[in-house]
Each structure stands twice: as C-alpha cells, then as structure tokens.
C-alpha cells in the first residue's frame, strides 16, 4: 500500500509568487492534516480535513494560505502571495479515523527568495 | 501557553548503548502522546504512542514512559543502532484525534 505522497518535493520561488502544494493521502483515509516546520522550530499544525470538510483550520497563519480538498481525496495548499517567512517544510498526514495514528508524507521544502 | 518541549536538542550515544530522549509537556489535559522519528529527507515516522491512563508501553526495542505528576515523557531505545540516528519528536493530543502539538525535536547521533 502506498504511503502519503506529496508534490513537489522542493519548490523555490520568489517573494510575491504563488505556489501550490499537493498531498495525496493513503487510500481510504478520510482525515487529512497539513503541518509545517519553519527552520529550527517545531512542527506546527495548519489544518485538518475530514473528507472534503475543514474540521479545524486554527493553525492557518493568514489568508494568504488556502487549502482545498475537493472530492475528499487529494488536497492542495496554495500560498498566494508567498512571503519570506513562508519558507519551511510542509508536511501532510492522513489517518483512517481522527483517533488513529497519523501517517506523514515526506514533505515539500518551500524556499521563498 | 500549551507546549510540548524537549530537554536536549542533541544526543550522542555509542552504538549498542541505550538512549533516553526526554520530553516535557505543560498541558495536563493532554491524554495521548506520540513519539515520531524523522530521518533526513523523510517525513515523521510513527514509533510508539501512549495514553494518559498508562505509565509505560513497550515496543520493539523502544519503551515510552509517562510521568503525569511531573508532566514528563521519555523514549528509551535499547541497543541503539546507527539506523536509529534521526530527529525524534514527541507530540501530544488532547483527545487522541485532530491536531498534534509537537516539541522541537532531539537529534540522536549514534557513534559506531
């Protein structure tokens, strides 16, 4: 069974540009989470989907971040316009049930210049 | 505020020795704790978890201890191997579901 996959693995963009990150959860996992780790700091929660609905988006830093999960399968996280402080590694995780173990993808390393 | 933190940012051990990685948490309402291992270029990998109604849980070569009195969590790795070199994160969850709150991570380095 394939694990959580993320695309791209790396992205380098200039300040003010737009970037879209994609996450494909493990098949059958209704719960999908986005996290990010800014250099040298802890991994922080961004938001949680249950199927296509946003269950908790308390960690989204501001309205430059937009997450979607149309159809309840894969999810995208768009940053528009990107700022320097958005640089970091963005992780996606999924679980079958909200009480189950969260399995993480390899992450997307975003660098904003 | 609520936080989960690690006592040491780095830990270096000799191959074959036992490793102990510590974690402190501040939210007494948390009832589920998890340890993740992150190797370079990969995402966090689940190691072991423990609920607040337990003090100890064992896995293969790993043991997690929970001391609710002092809000302390530890991960013990027996007979540490070079493949154990990674960053270890503790995380907490208030109700075994939803968002995880992570500590900063401890980098474990195993010397041959």
Query: Average pLDDT per run of 10 along chain A, which is 113 residues long?
Result: 91 97 95 91 92 93 94 95 96 85 95 97
Cβ distance B95 to A98 under 8 Å?
A: no
User: What are the φ/ψ torsions at residue A85 (nearest 5 degrees)?
Assistant: -75, -5
**Chain B interface mutation, best of A104, A105, A107, highest count of B Cβ atoms under 10 Å:** A104
Tell me the pLDDT tens digit for each residue of B94-105. 765 688 999 888
CATH of the domain spanning A5-112: 2.60.40.10
Q: Note whether B97 contacts A106, CB cutoff 8 Å.
A: no
Return the domain boundaries, chain A: 5-112
Q: What is the pLDDT of residues B4-17, one digit of tens each?
A: 554 448 899 999 99
**Count of Cβ atoms closer than 10 Å to residue A50 Cβ:** 16
Domain that holds residue B79: 4-111
Nearest to B98 among A35, A43, A56 (CB): A56
The distance of A26 to chain B (nearest Cα, Å) reads 14
**A98, B97: Cβ pair inside 8 Å?**
yes
Q: Which helix (H) or strand (E) holds A26?
A: none
Nearest to A91 among B43, B96, B97 (CB): B43
With beta carbons under 8 A apart, name residues in chain B contacting A4.
43
- Residue B47's domain is classified under what CATH number? 2.60.40.10
Burial B31-67 (b: 16+ CB within 10 A, else e): bbbbbbbbeeeebbeebbbbeeeeeeeeeeebbbbbe
Cα end-to-end distance, chain B, whole Å = 40
User: How many domains, chain B?
Assistant: 1
**CA-CA distance, B5 to A45, in Å (whole number)?**
15
DSSP assignment string, B71-100? TEEEEEESS--GGG-EEEEEEEESSSSS--
Hey, are the CB atoms on B43 and A43 less than 8 Å from each other?
no
Per-residue pLDDT, B2:
35
B41-66 mean pLDDT: 94
């Amino acid at each position: 069974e394939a694990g959580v996959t993320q695309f791209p693995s790396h992205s380098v963009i200039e300040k003010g540009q737009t970037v879209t990150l994609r996450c494909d959860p493990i098949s059958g996992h209704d719960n999908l989470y986005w996290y990010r780790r800014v250099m040298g700091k802890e991994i922080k929660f961004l938001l949680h989907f249950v199927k296509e609905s946003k269950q908790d988006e308390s960690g989204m830093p501001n309205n430059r971040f937009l997450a979607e999960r149309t159809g309840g399968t894969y999810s995208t996280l768009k940053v528009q316009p990107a700022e320097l402080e958005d640089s970091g590694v963005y992780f996606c995780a999924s679980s079958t049930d909200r009480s189950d173990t969260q399995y993480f993808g390899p992450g997307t390393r975003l660098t904003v210049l | 505020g609520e936080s989960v933190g690690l006592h040491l940012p780095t830990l270096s051990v000799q191959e074959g020795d036992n490793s102990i990685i510590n974690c402190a948490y501040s939210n007494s309402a948390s009832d589920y704790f998890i340890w993740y291992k992150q190797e370079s270029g990969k995402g966090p990998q689940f190691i072991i978890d423990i609920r607040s109604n337990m003090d100890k849980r064992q896995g293969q070569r790993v043991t997690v201890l929970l001391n609710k009195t002092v809000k302390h969590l530890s991960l013990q790795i027996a007979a540490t191997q070079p493949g154990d070199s990674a960053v270890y994160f503790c995380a907490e969850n208030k109700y075994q579901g939803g968002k995880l709150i992570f500590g900063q991570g401890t980098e474990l380095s195993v010397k041959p």
